Structure 1
């Protein structure tokens, strides 16, 4: 990658901290799962769970009240500090893109932003974008090819003073060839199946071209909107962020007048929802029970399969876990369905094991595999052959972030399962803010628990989790030897062929036993019955022009 390694470490530390602080570990009681949109038994988790209320039944006006964990450190979502907190979530109603993800993991052109997006050459990969001439930034300046050229340059790492969160993908662009103000061609130096993520600017050129503005100007103000809403105010004292309709928005008029975000920890947000102070809230393992018990009976619950998978990472670069047979023994001992059942109970979801290290259920390339039953006898035999016994047990350190009770529950469950085959697992905690720098980066652990998001348009970003050995995202202690498989899975442009390539790569990675997929992590949201066209989304984004409040209460 073109970004300096120190900057990449800072970026990854921010991402890891955000992931660990907000990560889900879903274990609980044996309550019956309930269905999406109700409190009936669930049979399957969709990739998107939202109502499809006609606009004639949605009020013109009103305020939607939501919660975020904290005020973002920076409201430039692609600056490294903007990766912490909820900048992307808060700014989502203010932003748009020429490419829109669909529920099935495919993509389409968003006509609000582009007349067309088309691959015009595959060698080299060249994408032509023709912009919608009506599209403008918040101040009224048109969105042009110059914005794309400047954005590519800053995101690629070419401007060393700009503190870019990550250059991944952008540094694979060879050129942005402008054809007038409203048309350009993006030329990649190698094929990338996830190219739709890298063909439209998030920032105006005036921001991209000035590192001081890029880094510092948006600490208490938002970047320019190009969506249906704009940020009207950020009040640090009260922890509120207010969005209102964008007066220069050229697309379909939004139904809501305002969206108000209130900063609150998950438990506080849950109490606020039960008290009627919020209209929707994301549920976690810790909050789901209190919300579902205390909220009104007509509360709507939306559930999707989510995009994340919880994985057990093994440090194969040192100690006993250098032996691939020992790692295989651990896999044989694990009872993943039992973990999934325990997970499902607290959130009222379908028990779903994860069968991929690269993509989540419902994403292209995901293949459900037959989950073998734990085989304690074989695990013990493999460990005995490696020299371990009751008198000489294998002892491993499982290190996790502190103050995360659900992560601790998952760790305890795994330790108990491995104890049945004679493996002693010593669980210890480290403050979350130091977990990346003190544990993950120096590989000071034998086992750890991480949750990773799948990448529906391509797996290239996931490669850093497995190779090279010194990648700041590779916590396995080794580098895999699957370079050709990574290239095939990352560069194939045909969706069906890419899915087959991803499955082949997945098989090879699973055989390495350096990371073991455990659980699919669902997304669960509770909403007041009057909220329309909002729910849980694993892939397709929310259409904020349609979200609103019903003219009459939902039956």
Structure 2
């Protein structure tokens, strides 16, 4: 769990840690001269140093959240530590640079490119001739083929968590020699660079039994700068040691010990000398910075807590922004938020810039709101598409609520009646879990999207609304209707409601809203465990912002272990805060998060990872087009267009890129807060006594 609160398991390579009128989309910046992707808001903070400045040897003790249940990253219970181990001990054909873009890993690949597109897409990999497994066997086509068969989805005996991309492969064969691997796709696959990273040996992937069991507790055969020496569940740690068969630059460290330390115990673990490197929360940041400003004099009369505080002088805080963002999720499956106008009103009530500043500015990090659901600043697919929804505007939020029939001063049922209604609602939810109601709702949504795709915004497709459009919308609202603006044509806004909404001065509290005798109250679910303080602070700001437009919120704190399983994944919430990683391959990895839910065979609703239950056919079609488009520029434009539609549907509102805060011993180099960059494990190490890395230095290849 991050200091910023829990996030669902990533759909990216690292398993970490979720319409009828025309749609207004900002002009796609791919057509402009300036690259809308921009630069990352913050780069890596790892104290880069030439390898010649590092000690040869030493053990790095690195705090992690847990010792993983499996070392197979393709299984459902893999976690962030599973990925960290895989990065150190297994081949990856590509790794990410500091902008979050994939680059060839020369330790394994000499080249990889699409050599044919007709009649089939063919990718030719040329492997590094020195690349061998730890048993001495060359890495080759047999390993690629075994991984494809295991992850293709054709054999249910393999207990796989994902098969995206592998299911598009038709065959894999040896090329002109043993160092060439030829991959032929049955259907075009734009994100082919995401495949075979990590690559497991055929001994793991070759049979269902070996895939399901052999790599859970140990990896006998590896091919990285380190290998797994020991997984100790009693002491909650994994020991990685130098791989004697590694052909690349030798690892500077002799060992890396990944030790499970709870987030709220890491300050003490650092001070007691139990770990050298740890992701930390803002409270520990303050303690380390306070210790660094102290005079450092020792006193025999010091208490244990004072000695621990002084011991923190040996550490420094390295900070960046994580390749992940925190969002406000709006459950659109039922209740007031099933109406897209209410979801849009919630979004327009939020001052996202204020929220980002509240979280990031005190940490000295760039405080800019995230403008995309599918990428972050610096990544190739990024563009700020939030204009498809609009900036914070209290008057607009109130008008949207009025258009949806929520008015101030309306009759509200007595508390007793409300409790009875609540009991009925819970009963209905229980029945729906059996599948009957969910199936009916899925069929209803399907019919609706076939007709209109569920998004109603003024403007033509691929054209941003003009000021004249906005003025006309305001005028129409004042006249009592706004055809096509926020509802299907012919749906009028109640004149009385609009008048009441407009009667409140800007910035004043709107008062509670009601409809059909029920107040507009949303259940805001939050985790309660240590490390979630930031989320609770953000939730309180959101509560105040919503209160200004008349939306009441009930903040409900739940245990961390039940937050996703019992609330987010099961749909037992109206509003929630959680994070998603930003993948280098959004067409593949983000699709399950925003795919339109569909009825399953048993009558339940299949939401994949779309925990907001908000999706449209248009978004699904754009993802499918993007994944099959091999032209990079065209694919980026399709992804940005999909993102604009996701914004307009207002199922989730990106808020800020998550801070990445790491405590590191001051003499540690080439490690810390990595940002987008994939860690280079062989270059990590301790500085020689007196060594001082030059500003802007990078690790040499010697």
Relative to the length of structure 1, the TM-score reads 0.86
Matched, 1:361 2:489: no
Equivalent of residue 75 in structure 1, options 71, 81, 88: 71
Matched, 1:247 2:244: yes
State which drifts further: 517-526 or 484-493.
Answer: 484-493
CA contact (8 A) 1:380 1:421 kept: yes
Query: In structure 2, what is the Cα distance between the partners aligned to 1:273 and 1:91?
Result: 25
Which residue of 1 is the match for residue 458 of structure 2? Answer: none
Query: In structure 1, what is the Cα distance between the partners aligned to 2:676 and 2:218?
Result: 28
Which residue of 1 is the match for residue 687 of structure 2? Answer: 550
Q: Which runs of 5+ in 2 are unaligned?
A: 1-6, 19-38, 293-311, 410-513, 598-605, 693-702
CA contact (8 A) 1:163 1:215 kept: yes
- What are the within-5 Å matches in structure 2 for residues 78-117 of structure 1? 78-81=74-77, 83-84=78-79, 86-117=81-112
Q: Check 1:200–1:86 CA distance in 2 against 1; reply closer, same or farther (3 A cut).
A: closer
Equivalent of residue 519 in structure 1, options 656, 670, 673: 656
Q: Check 1:402–1:54 CA distance in 2 against 1; reply closer, same or farther (3 A cut).
A: same
Q: Indicate the structure whose relative CO is greater, using CA pairs within 8 Å and at least 6 residues apart.
A: 2
- What are the within-5 Å matches in structure 2 for residues 531-550 of structure 1? 531-550=668-687
Displacement of 1:248 in angstroms is: 0.7
- What are the within-5 Å matches in structure 2 for residues 75-474 of structure 1? 75-81=71-77, 83-84=78-79, 86-123=81-118, 124-179=120-175, 181-199=178-196, 202-222=199-219, 224-294=221-291, 296=312, 299-345=315-361, 347-368=363-384, 374-391=392-409, 392=514, 393-403=519-529, 404-469=532-597, 470-474=606-610
Please, what is the CA RMSD of the aligned residues? Answer: 2.8
Q: Check 1:167–1:44 CA distance in 2 against 1; reply closer, same or farther (3 A cut).
A: closer
CA contact (8 A) 2:8 2:17 kept: no
Q: Check 1:230–1:46 CA distance in 2 against 1; reply closer, same or farther (3 A cut).
A: same
Displacement of 1:285 in angstroms is: 3.7
Displacement of 1:157 in angstroms is: 2.2
Displacement of 1:473 in angstroms is: 0.8
Superposed CA deviations along residues 248-278 of structure 1, whole A, max 9, x for unmatched, are 1111111111112221111222322234432
Q: Check 1:223–1:161 CA distance in 2 against 1; reply closer, same or farther (3 A cut).
A: farther
State which drifts further: 535-544 or 224-233.
Answer: 535-544
CA contact (8 A) 2:528 2:558 kept: yes
Superposed CA deviations along residues 525-547 of structure 1, whole A, max 9, x for unmatched, are 22222111113223331111211
Query: In structure 2, what is the Cα distance between the partners aligned to 1:458 and 1:122?
Result: 22
Superposed CA deviations along residues 329-368 of structure 1, whole A, max 9, x for unmatched, are 1111111111111111454322121110111122112124
Q: Check 1:304–1:190 CA distance in 2 against 1; reply closer, same or farther (3 A cut).
A: farther
Displacement of 1:323 in angstroms is: 2.1
Q: Check 1:193–1:297 CA distance in 2 against 1; reply closer, same or farther (3 A cut).
A: farther
Query: In structure 2, what is the Cα distance between the partners aligned to 1:454 and 1:74?
Result: 23
Relative to the length of structure 2, the TM-score reads 0.69
CA contact (8 A) 2:8 2:16 kept: no
CA contact (8 A) 1:315 1:475 kept: yes
Displacement of 1:550 in angstroms is: 0.9
Larger Rg: 2
Which residue of 1 is the match for residue 419 of structure 2? Answer: none
